[in-house]
């Protein structure tokens, strides 16, 4: 096999069906190899979108996502998406074209050191050759999937695609598997003495889909449960133990719940989303995850590293008879949050728009949310019934995530309704991907919460008693037209017109944009100012 053929063969054997990106001249032989292997190269408008689509594809399918960029500016563009895969914990392989061995150290057009570029945002970076192709591909897939999963970069030197690979034997992994030194006795002691434990469930639990195990555990050991944003959907939000989402809208209401705890149990809680010290009371912390992680000694963490089955076995040491949980406490909190949200439905603001979307979209719809004030609202308000139907970024929190994430979700779930919730700022960053939706006939409903500003930044300026500055995006209507890049734009500026726009969108089998012109005033009451 040639290098290009071998790469295509290995992608296929590992379940890869899409490669996302923008080709360059040196990429042409690889694209041809992908075509012959029936791996579709999805052409994006921006390489950052390609990285995001690879990330979300990996999340939804469990198969390592793959993306590609060319020299220099292609590589720097794609780093935005790769950073997301790194801090949101998704297995991804990113290929970039690199200069040949002759030119790599020369001053020449578009040449930078890709290996150094990708070191801070990948688990590993390698440069492929005909002699090491077998080893590099094997290592890349393996490393991308190991805990925590994340991206691996492979540089493809120009001119090697059509060379034959040199047969090589994959070396045995020489790395020692370090068995964590878990202080189980101390953990058991804390569990047996707990009367008012609180469980904080996070990203690792979501990746391992422990929802059913968690629900079964809570049948016997009842306690309040709070979740991080990316664990949303792991527990039905009408579950008696469910209290709410940390960090997002109205999360200060949760203080009454967690301040009563005498023990915090972090279950697959990844601090990349929200550090413990930003919210938890001065009580002991038991942190269960797949890895030992860095935490300040001031919060006195006792860590347990292992797979989820082991977490639950250790947690069986709780004394069910000691627990004092009263479901009326969490029920009252949920009712209070619901009442506050309902108080904002008298005008056409983000709560009303989101309420209509929740009512009108099919129950099995997949919703992606971009970064901004609307994300804080969606994270607390949107109801999940014990499934993972909402996709967001929190570890990386890069604006522009929503639209390419929705395109990836639609490719992975062709028969399912997919909607993207984005602010106008995030939409403008990735507006070119509307053409990607049109090119591949992906019937994604893109809902733009148009308020003409970077609202979250404006809010943060007002918190500092500053006059808002450099946050206005445009004057007048965002689109000013019934079509954008050939895709229908439906305008909604009232509850009635929003209902009509959503119903019309669902009747179409094509991409559509809903320009929801909202009053952003809700946000200043709902978005919580976090501790510094």
Instruction: Please write down the HEC assignment for all residues of 162-211.
Output: CCECCCCCCCCCCCCCCCCCCCHHHHHHHHHHCCCEEEEECHHHHHCCCH
The set of residues, in sequence order, having a beta carbon less than 8 Å from that of 443 and lying 6+ positions away, is 410, 418, 508, 509, 510, 511, 512
Q: Give the residue ranges of the chain where pLDDT is below 70.
A: 169-177, 386, 532
Among 361, 354, 432, 369, CA closest to 406: 369
Q: How far is CA 321 from CA 195, 222, 306, 325, in A?
A: 9, 10, 27, 10
DSSP states along 243-303: EEESSSTTGGGGHHHHTT-SEEEEES--TTTS-GGGT--SS-EEEEESS-----GGG-EEE
Degrees, nearest 5: CA angle 168-173-175: 145
Among 493, 489, 485, CA closest to 514: 489
* Fold topology of 343-526: Rossmann fold (3.40.50)
The single-letter DSSP state of residue 318 is S
Contact (Cβ atoms closer than 8 angstroms) between residue 269 and residue 289? yes
Q: How far is CA 197 from CA 210, 241, 253, 260, in A?
A: 19, 12, 18, 9
pLDDT digits over 365-401, tens only?
A: 999 999 999 999 999 999 987 677 999 999 999 999 9
pLDDT digits over 94-152, tens only?
A: 999 998 888 788 888 888 899 999 999 999 999 999 999 999 999 999 999 999 999 99
The confidence score (pLDDT) of residue 137 equals 97
Q: Terminal CA-to-CA distance of the chain, rounded, Å? A: 55
* Alpha helices in 298-349, H assignment, sequence order: 308-315, 327-342
What angle do the packed helices 73-87 and 47-61 form, to 10 degrees?
30
The sign of the CA dihedral 55, 59, 61, 62 is positive
The confidence score (pLDDT) of residue 156 equals 97
Q: Give the CA radius of gyration of the chain.
A: 24
**What are the residue ranges spanned by the domains of the chain?**
3-157, 184-331, 343-526
d(CA 508, CA 443): 8
Backbone angles phi, psi at 469, to 5 degrees: -145, 140
Strand 483-484 with 487-492, pairing: antiparallel
The listed CATH number (3.40.960.10, 3.50.50.60, 3.40.50.1220, 3.40.1190.20) that belongs to domain 184-331: 3.40.50.1220
d(CA 104, CA 444): 42
Q: Which CATH architecture has domain 3-157?
A: 3-Layer(aba) Sandwich (3.40)
The set of residues, in sequence order, having a beta carbon less than 8 Å from that of 40 and lying 6+ positions away, is 17, 18, 19, 34
Contact (Cβ atoms closer than 8 angstroms) between residue 287 and residue 301? yes
Do 184-331 and 343-526 have matching folds?
yes
CB atoms within 10 A of CB 252: 11
């Amino acid at each position: 096999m040639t290098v290009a053929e071998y790469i295509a063969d290995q992608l296929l054997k590992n379940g890869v069906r899409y490669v996302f990106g923008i080709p360059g001249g040196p990429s042409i032989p690889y694209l041809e190899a992908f075509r012959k292997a029936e791996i579709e190269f999805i052409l994006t408008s921006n390489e950052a979108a390609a990285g995001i689509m690879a990330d979300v594809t990996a999340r939804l399918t469990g198969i390592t996502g793959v993306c590609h960029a060319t020299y220099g500016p292609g590589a720097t563009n794609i780093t935005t998406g790769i950073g997301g895969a790194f801090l949101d914990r998704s297995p991804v392989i990113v290929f970039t074209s690199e200069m040949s061995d002759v030119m790599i150290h020369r001053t020449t057009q578009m040449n930078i050191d890709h290996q150094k570029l990708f070191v801070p945002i990948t688990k590993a970076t390698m440069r492929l050759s005909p002699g090491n192709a077998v080893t590099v591909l094997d290592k890349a897939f393996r490393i991308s999937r190991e805990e925590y999963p994340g991206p691996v970069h492979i540089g493809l030197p120009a001119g090697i695609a059509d060379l034959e690979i040199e047969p090589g034997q994959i070396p045995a992994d020489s790395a020692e598997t370090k068995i964590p030194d878990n202080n189980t006795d101390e953990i058991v002691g804390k569990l047996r003495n707990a009367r008012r434990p609180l469980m904080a469930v996070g990203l690792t639990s979501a990746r391992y889909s422990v929802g059913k195990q968690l629900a079964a555990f809570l049948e016997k050991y009842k306690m309040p449960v709070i979740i991080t944003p990316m664990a949303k959907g792991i527990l039905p939000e009408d579950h008696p133990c469910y209290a709410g989402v940390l960090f997002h809208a109205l999360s200060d209401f949760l203080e009454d719940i967690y301040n009563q705890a005498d023990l915090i149990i972090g279950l697959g809680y990844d601090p990349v989303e929200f550090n413990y010290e930003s919210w938890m009371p001065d009580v002991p912390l038991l942190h269960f995850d797949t890895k030992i992680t860095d935490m300040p000694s001031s919060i006195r963490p006792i860590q347990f590293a292992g797979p989820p089955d082991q977490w639950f076995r250790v947690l069986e040491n709780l004394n069910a008879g000691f627990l004092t949980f009263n479901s009326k406490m969490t029920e009252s909190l949920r009712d209070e949050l619901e009442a506050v949200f309902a108080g904002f439905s008298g005008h056409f603001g983000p709560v009303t728009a989101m309420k209509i979307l929740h009512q009108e979209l099919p129950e099995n719809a997949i919703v992606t949310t971009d970064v901004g004030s609307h994300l804080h609202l969606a994270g607390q308000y949107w109801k999940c019934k014990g499934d993972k139907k909402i996709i967001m970024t929190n570890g990386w929190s890069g604006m522009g995530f929503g639209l390419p994430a929705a395109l990836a979700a639609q490719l992975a779930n062709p028969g399912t309704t997919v909607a993207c919730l984005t602010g106008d700022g995030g939409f403008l960053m990735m507006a070119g991907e509307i053409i990607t939706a049109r090119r591949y006939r992906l019937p994604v409903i893109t809902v733009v919460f148009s308020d003409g500003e970077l609202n979250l930044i404006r809010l943060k300026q007002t918190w500092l008693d500053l006059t808002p500055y450099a946050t206005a995006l445009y004057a007048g209507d965002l689109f000013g037209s019934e079509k954008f890049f050939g895709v229908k734009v439906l305008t909604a500026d009232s509850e009635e017109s929003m209902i009509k726009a959503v119903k019309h969108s669902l009747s179409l089998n094509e991409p559509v944009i809903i320009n929801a012109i909202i009053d952003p005033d809700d946000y200043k009451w709902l978005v919580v100012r976090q501790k510094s």
